[in-house]
């Protein structure tokens, strides 16, 4: 039971981290919306530039944050699914042993 409690605490901590990652996604994607300029799209539209675009228009840091966030959210969600399924099984086994107990 102690192991289950530890897993549940870690799940709670990871859910809080997921909340902050979601906030980071919003901020990154908002900045990408404001600053990103695709040179490929400009070329497809046959837009001629008088000079090179500034480096910040590629929003590399924002795309990095979005990609890392996606990976971490996937890993954390899988961990939470495993933890919750173990919790449900444990609670079912405890309730079978003690049918009169209320949760």
DSSP assignment of 11-80: HHHHHHHHHHHHHHHHHHHHHHHHH---HHHHHHTTPPPSSPPPGGGG-HHHHHHHHHHHHHHHHHHHHH
**Prediction pTM value:** 0.63
Q: Can you give the pLDDT at residue 101?
A: 54
Q: Can you give the pLDDT at residue 2?
A: 82
Q: Can you give the pLDDT at residue 103?
A: 55
Ramachandran angles phi, psi of 36, nearest 5°: -70, 135
Confidence band (pLDDT; 50, 70, 90) for 71?
very high
What is the pLDDT averaged over residues 24-39? 83
Given the structure tokens 């042993």, which residue do they identify?
97
């Amino acid at each position: 039971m102690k192991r289950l409690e530890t897993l549940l605490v870690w799940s709670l901590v990871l859910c809080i981290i997921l909340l902050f990652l979601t906030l980071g996604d919003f901020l990154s994607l908002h900045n990408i919306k404001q600053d990103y300029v695709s040179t490929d799209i400009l070329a497809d539209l046959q837009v001629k530039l008088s000079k090179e675009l500034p480096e910040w228009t590629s929003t590399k840091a924002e795309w990095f944050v979005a990609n890392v966030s996606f990976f971490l959210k996937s890993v954390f969600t899988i961990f939470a699914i495993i933890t919750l399924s173990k919790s449900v099984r444990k609670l079912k086994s405890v309730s079978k042993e003690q049918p009169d107990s209320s949760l």
